[in-house]
Amino acid sequence: MTPVDDDFEESLHILRGIRAKAALRKLQEQAAAKGLDKMTMEEIDEVIRKSREEHKASRK
């Protein structure tokens, strides 16, 4: 690769990192607005369990 290609790839990598962090921050803000950031591990596990059951039932 040429130096220009390397610079472009590095810039693209940085940009993707910035966009990922912004998306994560938005998701965290949305969760906090809904009070989901206060869920206990047990509550999270229950949501996951129910979701898996529903998914399994829909595949039959």
pLDDT in tens, 16-47: 999 999 999 999 999 999 999 999 999 999 99
pLDDT computed for residue 2 by the predictor: 72
CA dihedral over 47, 51, 52, 53, signed as positive or negative? positive
Amino acid in position 58: S
User: Which two structure tokens, joined as six digits, stand for 29?
Assistant: 């803000």
- pTM equals 0.65
Are 28 and 37 spatial neighbours (Cβ–Cβ below 8 Å)?
A: yes
pLDDT computed for residue 5 by the predictor: 79
pLDDT computed for residue 1 by the predictor: 62
**59 or 42, higher pLDDT:** 42
